Amino acid sequence: MKKLFTPGPLNTSATVKQAMLTDVGSRDREFIEAVQFIRHELLELAQVDKGEYTTVIIQGSGTFGIESVIGSAIGSHQKLLVMTNGAYGDRMVKMATINGIDVVELPFLENETLRADKLETMLLNDPAITHVACVHSETTTGLFNPIEEIGQVCKKFDKVFIVDAMSSFGGVQLKVKENGIHFLVSSSNKCIEGTPGFSFAICDKNQLELAKDQAKSLSLDLYAQWKGLETNGQFRFTPPTLTIMAFQQAIVELKEEGGIAAREARYKFNRAILKKELRQLGLIEYLDEAIQGHIITSYLYPEHTNFDFDRFYRKLNERNLVIYPGKLSQCNAFRIGNIGQLFEADMMDLVFGIREVLSEEGILIAQAVD
């Protein structure tokens, strides 16, 4: 079995896979109850009140969920500010542009976090801005952006706050309401350890009500999707039935593990193993430790003429170890994730595999100095 050291899709448990083995209809009671369970449990994980927030499930990957929110929550006479420091923030800007939304970008470098003081200055200078969006765990590099600080600025200026928590929700303890988040988006195949097939938005009901009749897409109409789920528990279009059943099981297993706190601890332990062992092999992390998250880590290419990433990737893959290519614009790097059904033995398997491949390639790895 391949071990996926990526930010998703991830390795899933045997029982999550088994939950997909029995076909269910989109109108079967079992399926409708699973949808209700998921919508309720996601609010519990977000620590929000069901009277104030609701969960909307959207068919498709996390990108579909983000575009559904951006294309539905922002009206024709409103303006979006996107804070960016990686490819996924850039993608939100592109979505807004394609959807004909008035959008402005507040850019930062890939190796620096977003700054709340810069946001405050921007909002003071441009009162037309009504919505602010950013990525929490920017998987371009692996850094965590300070959404708590950004959220407080949004609250101060009474702005609607949209957060892409794609690769962090379920693996990081987040305070949604306290941080002024109105829309938080994630997907089924990330830290909750389900399978690909849908995304979801945890939405402030008051803001969601304002999205009525202003979506720029039929299939990605967040408000209409919500109303369909609220009315009869049905999706407007064919739902990912088996993925839903798998995700229900994944939530059960998350709770059995000890909830988000326990899963976060496991992921941090996995990351600590990588940090220690790969440092001993001389591999250098791209980010400063102070801003590095525990979801995925970017490593710079070794400075050796023998290093070829495609060959490195292929040889690891032949050992059933799957890492992730880099996405940096300024330098060459690859990425290693440590989420999903990965444990200490799996992390050490990867370390041993990397050591073998680098040895085979004749790459002399310097020993790190404490």
Of 108, 58, 57, nearest to 85 by C-alpha is 108
Can you give the pLDDT at residue 328?
A: 80
Can you say how many angstroms the Cα of residue 359 is from the centroid of all Cα atoms in its chain?
34
CATH node for 259-360: 3.90.1150.10
Please state, in angstroms and rounded to a whole number, the distance separating the CA atoms of residues 75 and 212. 10
> Contact 354/365 with Cβ under 8 angstroms?
no
Burial readout 91-101 (b: 16 or more C-beta within 10 A, e: otherwise): bbbebbeebeb
Enter the tokens of residue 327: 């996405």
Question: What does the domain layout of the chain look like in residue ranges?
Answer: 15-256, 259-360
Render 104-135 in DSSP notation, one character per residue: EEEE--TTS---HHHHHHHHHH-TT--EEEEE
Can you give the pLDDT at residue 364?
A: 59
Can you give the pLDDT at residue 365?
A: 58
Helix intervals (H) in the chain: 14-18, 29-46, 62-73, 87-98, 116-125, 147-156, 205-209, 222-232, 241-257, 259-280, 309-318, 344-360
Enter the tokens of residue 300: 């710079």
Cα–Cα distance list, 98 to 115, 185, 222, 224 (Å): 26, 20, 17, 21
Architecture of domain 15-256: 3-Layer(aba) Sandwich (3.40)
pTM: 0.96
Q: At what angle do helices 116-125 and 147-156 cross, to 10 degrees?
A: 30
Task: Give 10-residue mean pLDDT values along the chain (370 residues).
Answer: 93 98 94 97 97 97 97 96 96 97 97 98 98 96 97 98 97 95 98 98 98 96 97 93 98 98 98 96 94 96 94 97 86 94 98 96 62
Can you give the pLDDT at residue 236?
A: 95
Enter the tokens of residue 369: 């100095």
